[in-house]
Amino acid sequence: SQQGEEDPQALSIQEGENATMNCSYKTSINNLQWYRQNSGRGLVHLILIRSNEREKHSGRLRVTLDTSKKSSSLLITASRAADTASYFCAPNTNAGKSTFGDGTTLTVKP
């Protein structure tokens, strides 16, 4: 199986600041996805980056992928209190299942 490991475990910032979280994985992938989970809710898909892409943007989200280092980063710019959540990465292979690490818990203080 292929599991992503997120870093840091917890991140606390002020509203308006940028938040960066990292993901490392172990084997070759087809794509990597980032998910968000608000407390007590299901996971919500944020963005997918394919193995042949290096950077992708979606609104205030920027994702990078370095396949040589087997790592990815998620940057949230101009953070808002509503961004407070846990963030998970999911490296994806053709094996089908996605496995998750314990995530990064982001707290954005107003």
Partner 1 sequence: GAGVSQTPSNKVTEKGKYVELRCDPISGHTALYWYRQSLGQGPEFLIYFQGTGAADDSGLPNDRFFAVRPEGSVSTLKIQRTERGDSAVYLCASSPGVGLTGELFFGEGSRLTVL
Minimum Å gap between C-beta 107 and partner 1 is 14
Q: Could you say whether residue 103 binds partner 1 (CB under 8 A)? A: yes
User: Which residue's CB is nearer to partner 1, number 71 or number 104?
Assistant: 104
Q: Could you say whether residue 97 binds partner 1 (CB under 8 A)? A: yes
Q: Could you say whether residue 88 binds partner 1 (CB under 8 A)? A: yes
| Token reading at 57 | 């943007």
Cis peptide before 91, with omega less than 30 degrees from 0?
no
Q: Is 48:31 a contact under the CB 8 Å cutoff?
A: yes
Q: Which of 21, 98, 106, 108 binds partner 1 (CB under 8 A)?
A: 98
Q: Could you say whether residue 72 binds partner 1 (CB under 8 A)? A: no
3-state secondary structure of 22: strand
Q: Could you say whether residue 99 binds partner 1 (CB under 8 A)? A: yes
Q: What does the DSSP assignment read for 55-82?
A: EEEETTEEEEEETTTTEEEEEE-S--GG
Q: Which residues bind partner 1 (CB under 8 A)?
A: 1, 30-31, 33, 35, 41-45, 48, 88, 90, 92, 94-103
